[in-house]
Amino acid sequence: MRLPKFEYLEPKTLQEAVRALASDAKRSVLLAGGTDLLVNMKHRVIEPKQVINLKTIPKLAYVKNVKDELRIGALATLHDLSSSRVIQERFPILSHVATKVGAYALQAMGTLGGNLCQGNRCRFYNQSAFWRGAKPPCYKAGGKLCHVVRKPGECHSTYCGDMAPVLIALEAQVRVVGPNGERVLSLSKLYSRDGKRPLSLRKGEILKEVLIPPPSGKTLYLKWRRRESIEFPIVSLALHIEKDGTEKIGKARIIFSAVGSGPVETIGAEEMLESSSLDNRTIERVSNQAAKEISPMRTSIYSPSYKRRMAGILLRQALENFQIPNPK
């Protein structure tokens, strides 16, 4: 499969990139590692007029401590994350998760920014032009219907990224740069939960860096997939727990990937956990609640009921892991 024709730009600065992007936002795309974008372009679901390469812009691939905060440049690769001393020491969970993305080659090419901004997925969308040719194009591919749910106007494509759930659990923020300057928003707010346009970035905005507050509590990430390599999650879970000084749970964050149009936080389950103690009954109730709270769609070869079930199982396992005095 070949790439469609496009104009190619190598801006020297982020400002230049923002200008180029803003000038024709609808028909332009940003290229980082390309591991997500280029596949979609070969499949002809994205056919941009202009490709703007971010990798040629210097100094966007850093990992550094600024006071207590950790800052990661959007162009840092996943391999940078897993091999960075600083991250290994302060946020070992992040290096761990980076090694769970796809396979090694993808980690070497793929960037954190690209991972967070990657496209939503659907079994009718992430297919070649030939494959899609037999059916009329779906809503996300520019058509007028959805092959998953027959409700008009809505795309249920699924966010399957690995890094976002953990970073949201760590309360990360992102700094974006646009025609009107910079703004900082919580990572969770980056996602619009609209399958067709899953990011809330405004016209001409580029993700510049990820900001992570000092670590507190404990974070766990469980990724459920068939094989230990290559694959996106069937469903995955980031769980973050902080004790309240006693034996009770002070703060809990439960975030799933691959079960909705963006990372999915199960607030009901979180509330149930907070100020409870981690006894078996609570674990059972909370996991059931979380499984109920999500509403996966049939956007992959796995059924929604299976995803739901595995979401509950993963949460149970994660919580049980916290019952042990010194969890992994």
Q: 173-178 and 69-73: which strand pairing?
A: unpaired
For the chain, helix (H) and strand (E) counts, in that order, are 13, 12
For residues 75 and 234, which CB has a smaller minimum distance to other proteins in the complex?
A: 234
- The yes or no reply on residue 147 touching ligand SF4 (CB under 6 A) is yes
Q: Which does 161 bind (CB under 5 to 8 A by kind): ligand SF4, ligand FAD, other proteins, none?
A: ligand FAD
Count of positions on this chain that bind ligand SF4 (CB under 6 A): 14
Site for ligand FAD in 98-137 (CB under 6 A): 101-102, 106, 109-111, 113-115, 117-119
The verdict on 171 binding other proteins (CB under 8 A) reads no
Q: Shortest gap between Cβ of 136 and ligand FAD (angstroms)?
A: 24
- We find the least distance from the C-beta atom of residue 168 to other proteins, in angstroms, to be 24
> Considering the rule CB under 6 A, would residue 124 count as an interface residue with ligand SF4?
yes
Residues 10-29 that bind ligand FAD (CB under 6 A): 29
Residue 257 tokens read as 């990937």
Pick out residues in 55-94 that bind ligand SF4 (CB under 6 A): none
Does residue 140 belong to the site contacting ligand SF4 (CB under 6 A)?
yes
223/218 Cα distance (integer angstroms): 17
**Strand ranges, E, within the chain:** 7-9, 28-31, 50-53, 63-66, 69-73, 173-178, 181-186, 206-212, 218-224, 235-243, 249-257, 264-265
Distance CA 297, CA 302 (A): 9
Which residues lie closer than 8 Å to 292 by C-beta, 6 or more apart?
268
Question: Is position 47 an interface residue for other proteins (rule: CB under 8 A)?
Answer: no
Query: Which residues is 254 bridged to in the sheet?
Result: 239
By C-beta, is 43 or 140 nearer to other proteins?
A: 43
- As measured in angstroms, the least distance from the Cβ of 285 to ligand FAD is 30
- Residue at token pair 């995803």: 307
CB 89 within 8 A of CB 214: no
Long-range contacts of 301-309 (CB under 8 A, 24+ apart): 301/123, 302/234, 306/234, 307/234, 307/235, 307/258, 307/259, 308/259
Is residue 301 part of the contact set for other proteins (CB under 8 A)?
yes
Which residues contact other proteins by CB under 8 A? 1-2, 5, 103, 123, 127-131, 133-134, 224, 226-232, 301-302, 306, 309-310, 313, 316-317
Which residues contact ligand FAD by CB under 6 A? 29-37, 39, 54, 74, 78, 101-102, 106, 109-111, 113-115, 117-119, 161-162, 206-207, 230-232
Which residues contact ligand SF4 by CB under 6 A? 122, 124-125, 138-140, 146-148, 155-157, 195, 299
